[in-house]
Amino acid sequence: MSISVNREGNLDGTIDLTISIATTDFFNTYWEKAIKDTNVKIFKENSCFKKSQIEDVLKELEAIKNWALQNLMERELEYMQERIKNLIESIPEAFDKDDTVLYIY
């Protein structure tokens, strides 16, 4: 299993875009600790955010990236940095409409 950012943009409410965050194990071990330690409010499992919140979400991802640089090494650091880079690049493009909502699960 994995945790991802999802856009439920199909007419029937199904997912039409997925941006991978991490495997469930990796997310629970490292992302959850980073989210807690950096006091992230929006970018966490079972949450959602709108286009108006992009700036705050990107700031939270930068805080998580800085946490990773200070707390992870080698493969774990490289994996998390790659995912964060992809998220920072992909999230703004995921808002194809003004009323789009992205969900994290």
Residue 13 clears pLDDT 90, i.e. is over it: no
Q: Look up the pTM and report it.
A: 0.94
Q: What does the block give as tokens for 97?
A: 């409409």
Q: What is the pLDDT of residue 94?
A: 97
Taking only the tens place, the pLDDT of each residue in 61-105 is 999 999 999 999 999 999 999 999 999 999 999 999 999 999 999
88 in helix, strand or coil?
A: helix
Q: What is the pLDDT of residue 99?
A: 93
**Distance, CA of 65 to CA of 81 (rounded, Å):** 6
4 versus 1: the higher-pLDDT residue is 4
Mean pLDDT of the region 38-48:
98
Mean pLDDT of the region 10-14:
90
